[in-house]
Amino acid sequence: MRRGKLFMALILGIVTFVAGSAGSQDGASLYKRLGGYDAIAAVTDDFIGRLAGDPVFQPFFTGLGTDSKKRLRQLVVEQVCEAAGGPCHYTGRDMKTAHAGLNITAEQWDASVNHLTASLDKFKVGETEKKELLTVVASLKADIVAG
């Protein structure tokens, strides 16, 4: 289903290019400061679960099979991992291409950012790291939200 695939792109966009500010004063990458692969995977699982449970996003999950959901999760993990300076390689599409025609609203954008923030808070991500993530995510809004 096209809507499901486009929603996968929305989730990827929310968490993409996290490492625009991947270094810290002590030189540790954002990837390391976030706790590495397992920590990124845990936040991703929680974030996707929050989106899937929100009626606002139900239409995007309709029609996604088990395999598609697993692929979505893996792409998000890999994209954040790579963007944060980790050892992963993301092979997905750029955000503008991935979101063309999806018609994401500003309200949906805000709701997804709120879910991401809640996931980061649940896992007690430090304020500095959380601020870096959310700042970079905000820079993607123009490529994700429809005119």
Write a three-state SS string for 91-111: CCCCHHHHHCCCCECHHHHHH
Classify domain 2-19+31-144 at the CATH superfamily level. Answer: Globins (1.10.490.10)
Please write the tens of the pLDDT for every residue from 91-127. 888 889 988 888 899 999 999 999 999 999 999 999 9
* Location of structure tokens 């029609």: 63
Domain spans, the chain = 2-19+31-144
State which amino acid sits at residue 48.
I
Q: What is the pLDDT of residue 62?
A: 86
- Which parts of the chain have pLDDT scores under 50? 5-6, 16-23
pLDDT for res 3: 56
User: In whole angstroms, what is the distance from residue 146 CA to residue 99 CA?
Assistant: 8
Give, to the nearest 10 degrees, the angle between helix 2-15 and helix 36-53: 130
